[in-house]
Structure 1
Amino acid sequence: MVLDRRAFLARSGQAGMAVSLLGAVDALLAAPGARAQPAGFAGYGPLVDDPDGLLALPEGFSYRVVTEAGTTRMKSGEPSPGIHDGAAAFDADDGNGNVLVVLNHEVRGGPDDDGAVPHEKGLVYRDDAGGGCTIIKTTGEGELIWERVGLAGTSTNCAGGVTPWGTWLTCEETEDDGHGYVFEVNPHDLDANQDPTPITALGRFVHEALCIDPDTLTVYLTEDTIDPLGTVYRWRPPSDFRGRPGELATLDTDTGELAALVCTDERGARVDDLAQADALNTLYEVEWSPVGDRGAENGPLRASEGITRAHKLEGAWWADGGAYLVSSYADSHRGQIWHHDPQKATLRLTTVFGADADGETVEAPDNIVAAPYGGLILATDGETDNHLAGVTRDGTVYPLARSQIGSEFTGPTFSPDGRVLFAGIQKPGILFAITGPWHGTESPSSSGGGSRPSTKGDATGEKRKWGSSSRSETSSSRSSESSRRSSTPRSGSGSGRSSGASTDGG
């Protein structure tokens, strides 16, 4: 179906807003874990600039600085690393309502570069690389307890994905010599991260993100690169794969089936580039072309003939029985979201991005996540202002945060109880905990991020609880090693900053 973008936005009451959705919006926002929003909900109001110059938020919202590169300290005493990117949040195992956040650091250089993850004995993949992950423990309110190394010596750790068995798969967005792999990081068992081993069965390429079908344990992976453009890969596990922590790294390189995306249109013609579609609900048939040479010894995997590619394939999220995949550079970097239904073997264009005329420009989608209070949250990485933006079930788009630092938003992820939205600013590297009057109080049926449905609740066995919809204003004091001054939000400011100091909690 072809619909003029301006006409649709005008009908939705958002003539200037950035994202237009049609048809599949209900499916997109009815992800497991995304419960119904109140009727008429249209966001939280305009963004108010932060006097501290970090985050513009709606009135009634506040933020806390959890970690800040070079300022907060790790449990080892070293300064926190930077260049933040993908992240995921898990329940801590201490029964105190604390949270564990696994955070990627997209460092492309060596261990002495700015923002590099410290090389802690036993956790280093290669001595010449500065990327990796940290594991951050916070209180239920997002206050820093400690930060530790989870993985070091990898390169360009961009996004990744949560596993149904409660771990994080971090992706190297590079194909430099010795890199280009996926690694598993266990936030619950720090000893399990010793002697990091690449998951070679998932191929060596410019990995971006992934999501996992919780029923079949099939993995869908995106590739963000050019010359030639990247593609989407599917890995189907062998019949004896059980999906346990650490199991992927034990597999031989040729285990399972790795294949690349092949789309055909209604005329039966192969689609070379996803960007050629501009009509919402464009539907392609999907096949998968087997990939040999998973180690890319004879050239990039994406150089295979007869596959479908896209410029800047970014976030991936499993919901509504399929994989949502972000193509960020379509239509002059406005971007698209596609949904792959493996049962129907189709790929459908569910979202096309545009630009707002009312002062907030939302385009170039990157990471995506279903919000526990209903709807969708997007992180953007564009040429203009960068945002966290939400989309309601009826297609209304609203801004949730704007970076006043200039760098892109990264890794939005909600605490397991839904009260805190963790999100990063990539450079130099700040992790925020955003709180506010989130809408909704009902409990979801499952997590929505690819976690396997379970009668035990989430991946750690804790039943999830969700925050109140009370619209009380929150505030927090600001303190840092360089400032030590405190403040509360000015009336209507929408933000209050607090920089957590590293402590020696368990």
Structure 2
Amino acid sequence: MKLTSAAIILLSASPAKGQDATFEPGNFSEGNKLVDSVTGGTLYLANGLQAVPVGHSGQKVVLADDSQSSIEYHANCDGGAAIPQADGGHIYVSNSEVGSYPDDLSGGVYALTFDGENKLQEYKQLLSGTAYNCHGGETPWGTWISCEEFRDNGRCWQVDPTGQKAPARTAITGQSMDGSSANEMFGAWEAFAWDADDKKGYVTNDDYPTKDVSKTYPDHVSQSYQGAVVRFSPDETALACLDAESDADKWCVLESGTVDYLKVVPSSEAGASGNFEWVSDKSEANPELYAASEGAHVEDGILTFTSTLEGYLWRLDLAAGTYTRSACPFASESDNLRILGGVVYLCTGKKLSLFPYCLRRDISCPSSWHLMLLPCLLYLFIRLAIADDDDNPGDALWRWDDKGASRMFYEVGHSYPAGVDFTLDKKVMYVSMYGDATYQVTRTDGLAFDAEPKSITYEVDGGIADGKTHEEIADQVAAIAVGVPAAEEASTGEATPEKPAGEASGAASNAVAGTIVGIITSTLML
């Protein structure tokens, strides 16, 4: 029995500026899909999208001249970026999140090189000898920062996408360049974002303030377990590197400076907005309020990042020192993100993810924390008992604007999206299905992704500026967790343009289950 995909469907007519637009985020009525014979997964695409694989994990890459790469495509392709080149082409760099210190240093960074006509010319490895390379970020001088998500040894590396310059460590998380410091600051580093206006870098940390008290940790490990978001400020010597004529000579921007840590100061108990400051003492930071921070992006003076432990999206006004925090009601594990034209493109979902309440593991659980088990177990029972385990619509790439959220695509298989980015002309979107493959996604109308779509179907109400908390949307979160359709659809089980007939069956039973979960969640969590 299939679970349907949306709990709230709001169809917003948004006429395109150009009448030829075909892209309709959130609308899957045309049955547009890509069946990948190599991975066994099916990629369901919104109307007006098309996708082609450019690399399959464990397979050699087929180049434009029909030859094959000398090495196989990397496993667990995670964070990535499409970095423009002087010849009009681009290089898509991608992390490999495998390995473990100290015995398995099989991670690294790989690159797909495309010419100005988007023809694939080369596939090669850029960084080796590392482990669990998760996400990272691009610099204005055309390098890729690859972050290792490994608590005891994680570092952030600077990588030349062309491979002409050898990779090097950075100092952006407080580490020494040569590793000689006795008090290295390692961590489960995630994403890097550079503020070109203020000339500072930001690094997220996929960790939360807890550790095994039965184990003895070196000083650097106990510090890194704090999980705080880091701000890197280059010193005068490093800032002088920005004046170099060659991009290759700007690497030193990230080689020396100071680091500070994020402390948020909520304006109310709900914590949906407030102020923030950067503190030099890690112990003064409060990462328990933004635990397990992941995707990050800086645009127009706003630092946007996710905290996946409870499914929040944070927006920090770097100049004003204020923040807003919005719940992600459509997914419990929001991960990689990119912002284009004011729209957040957010990768979400991991197999059998529970909705955010089930992920509360912070150190300040309410006294009735044990009651959380009831809705969580009920949800898990529903997922296992009546759902096709391969059908997890939460494993999706979402388009989130100031009105609500719409799916771009979702996968039915055994993977989830990562590494989203756009080429310089914004016409090609890259995304990897973690562990499986990397795809190029384009609009069938040939327009850029920041061009107005034909229409938008908002599957989840509420925009990124709403600052809602999970408590305020408990019913919505619980309903979406089990894929309950809107009430009027559930009563009939009939197909709608947004819900094909094949997905209509079982709607009533799912609605009942969702109502139970919603009532329990609302009662216990509010």
- For structure 2, list consecutive stretches of 5 or more residues without a partner in the other structure: 1-5, 11-15, 63-67, 175-185, 211-225, 354-391, 456-526
Equivalence for 1:435: 442
Aligned pair 1:77/2:77, yes or no? Answer: no
Q: Is the 8 A contact 1:438 1:469 kept in 2?
A: no
RMSD: 3.4
What does 1:228-307 correspond to in 2, within 5 Å? Answer: 228=210, 230-240=227-237, 241=239, 242-243=241-242, 245=248, 247-248=250-251, 255-266=256-267, 277=271, 282-291=272-281, 304-307=283-286
Q: Deviations over 1:35-93 (max 9, x none)?
A: 99999x96262263544433111233221110111112487612121110000002233
**Which one-letter code corresponds to 1:402 in the other structure?**
Y
* Equivalent of 1:409 in 384, 404, 417: 417
**Which one-letter code corresponds to 2:72 in the other structure?**
P
Q: Is the 8 A contact 1:222 1:316 kept in 2?
A: yes
Equivalence for 2:349: 381
Aligned pair 1:352/2:327, yes or no? Answer: yes
Shift of 1:256: 1.9
* Equivalent of 2:50 in 47, 54, 62: 62
Shift of 1:468: 10
**Which one-letter code corresponds to 1:260 in the other structure?**
Y
* Equivalent of 1:209 in 178, 191, 195: 191
Instruction: Return the alpha-carbon distance in structure 2 between the equivalents of residues 37 and 17 of structure 1.
Output: 25
What does 1:46-195 correspond to in 2, within 5 Å? Answer: 46=28, 48=31, 49-52=33-36, 53-73=41-61, 77-95=70-88, 98-109=89-100, 128-139=104-115, 143-176=119-152, 179-188=153-162, 190-192=163-165, 194=166
Equivalence for 2:304: 324
Q: Is the 8 A contact 1:46 1:399 kept in 2?
A: no
- Paired residues, number: 359
**Which one-letter code corresponds to 1:325 in the other structure?**
F
**Which one-letter code corresponds to 1:208 in the other structure?**
E
Q: Deviations over 1:377-396 (max 9, x none)?
A: 11113324300111244x13
Q: Is the 8 A contact 1:42 1:398 kept in 2?
A: no
Instruction: Return the alpha-carbon distance in structure 1 between the equivalents of residues 452 and 114 of structure 2.
Output: 20
* Equivalent of 2:340 in 371, 376, 382: 371
State the structure with more CA Rg.
2
> Which protein has greater RCO, CA pairs closer than 8 Å, 6+ apart?
1
Q: Is the 8 A contact 2:396 2:407 kept in 1?
A: yes
Equivalence for 2:291: 311
Shift of 1:154: 1.0
**Which one-letter code corresponds to 2:128 in the other structure?**
A
Q: Deviations over 1:226-272 (max 9, x none)?
A: 343522111111133134546556866xx3221111122337xxx9x
Q: Deviations over 1:15-54 (max 9, x none)?
A: 6269xxxxxxxxxxxxxxxx99999x96262263544433
TM-score w.r.t. the length of structure 2 is: 0.61
Residues 378 and 410 (structure 1), Cα distance of their counterparts in 2 relative to 1, 3 Å cut: same
* Equivalent of 1:397 in 405, 410, 415: 405
Aligned pair 1:426/2:400, yes or no? Answer: no
Instruction: Return the alpha-carbon distance in structure 2 between the equivalents of residues 345 and 311 of structure 1.
Output: 20
Residues 251 and 223 (structure 1), Cα distance of their counterparts in 2 relative to 1, 3 Å cut: closer
Instruction: Return the alpha-carbon distance in structure 2 between the equivalents of residues 337 and 251 of structure 1.
Output: 27
Instruction: Return the alpha-carbon distance in structure 2 between the equivalents of residues 404 and 159 of structure 1.
Output: 23
Shift of 1:283: 2.1
Shift of 1:139: 4.9
TM-score w.r.t. the length of structure 1 is: 0.63
- More helix by proportion, 1 or 2? 2
Percent pairwise identity:
25
- For structure 1, list consecutive stretches of 5 or more residues without a partner in the other structure: 1-13, 19-34, 111-125, 292-301, 356-361, 445-466, 472-506
Q: Is the 8 A contact 1:66 1:143 kept in 2?
A: no
